[in-house]
Chain A
């Protein structure tokens, strides 16, 4: 396993940086170009969520291994207000802004593993993983 890439999210340029780094990492893990785009999109949504609700936070990218499968792990964490009702937030279509939100449910659809940990008043951590198809 080894190194992780920690990317601060405090401004919208950071969202772009995070998704571009995510794409690069996915390429290293051997994901196809289409899958790289999917991963970049998921990171973009999650990182923007940090910016919108918590104002700042961090995205941590790393390569992961499970037997003979390679994958990427994305952790998005912040010390923001937290999500009061995670289940509701995960319902597809629910969004606090403008109704085009893909946000959490959208990112979940793109990833193989998806976990949300949120405590109101303390912050939110989202862990996602995508695995390359095994041979």
Chain B
């Protein structure tokens, strides 16, 4: 199951559509790293709204993505963790410490805008419409 990765300005948006196997997650990580490396990417959004479970492998992968992206100068933000999934995660003892998490795509874009502005970059991507297209 290939996760579609869209480009929006200087951001990459990976929109997970359904349950992913470990292999799918690994592929996603590789694909994102490659794309971040290739382009002038300032931010990565991973939308996990459709994930019904976030287990240790998923968390590990997301942390890897954030870490790798940061090494290449891009911020990562995870959006769309469901309430039930968040609760199960904390009960399992999984945290996404060190990785930004926000409610949804709109928040994610606002977050990245804020971060890239903070870093003193002048070239901010155009403000997205209120309902940015999703993968």
Beyond A38-B88, A100-B94, is A16–B21 a contact (Cβ under 8 Å)?
yes
- Give the contacts of A25-52 with B (CB-CB under 8 A): 33-34, 36-38, 40-42, 44-45, 48
Whose C-beta in chain A lies nearest to the C-beta of B95? Answer: A100
Prevailing SS type, chain A contact patch: helix
**Alpha-carbon distance A42/B69, docked complex (angstroms):** 29
**Alpha-carbon distance A118/B19, docked complex (angstroms):** 31
Whose C-beta in chain A lies nearest to the C-beta of B21? Answer: A12
Q: Is the CB of A103 within 8 A of B93?
A: no
- Give the contacts of B77-99 with A (CB-CB under 8 A): 82-85, 87-89, 91-94
Q: Does A109 contact B (CB under 8 A)?
A: yes
Q: Does B55 contact A (CB under 8 A)?
A: yes
Q: Does A126 contact B (CB under 8 A)?
A: no
Q: Is the CB of A48 within 8 A of B92?
A: no
Q: From residue B47, how far is it (CB to closest CB) to chain A in Å?
A: 18
Q: Does B39 contact A (CB under 8 A)?
A: no
Q: Give the A-B pair count, Cβ closer than 8 A.
A: 75
Fill in one digit per residue for B94-114: 1 if any A CB lies within 8 Å of its CB, else 0: 100000000000000000000
Q: Is the CB of A44 within 8 A of B53?
A: yes
Q: Which of A16, A38, A92, A103 contacts B56 (CB 8 A)?
A: A103
Prevailing SS type, chain B contact patch: helix
Residues of chain B at the chain A interface (Cβ within 8 Å) = 19-23, 52-57, 59-60, 63, 82-85, 87-89, 91-94
Q: Is the CB of A40 within 8 A of B52?
A: yes
Q: Does A106 contact B (CB under 8 A)?
A: yes
**Alpha-carbon distance A119/B92, docked complex (angstroms):** 26
Q: Does A63 contact B (CB under 8 A)?
A: no
**Alpha-carbon distance A110/B55, docked complex (angstroms):** 12
Beyond A44-B55, A100-B60, A102-B55, is A37–B87 a contact (Cβ under 8 Å)?
yes
Residue tally, chain A, CB below 8 Å to B: 29
**Alpha-carbon distance A42/B60, docked complex (angstroms):** 16
26 residue pairs of the A-B complex, CB under 8 angstroms, read A13-B21, A15-B21, A16-B20, A16-B21, A20-B19, A23-B53, A34-B83, A36-B84, A37-B52, A37-B53, A37-B85, A38-B87, A38-B88, A40-B53, A45-B55, A45-B56, A48-B57, A92-B93, A98-B60, A100-B63, A101-B56, A102-B92, A102-B93, A106-B93, A110-B88, A110-B92
Q: From residue B65, how far is it (CB to closest CB) to chain A in Å?
A: 13
Q: Is the CB of A100 within 8 A of B56?
A: yes
Q: Does A129 contact B (CB under 8 A)?
A: no
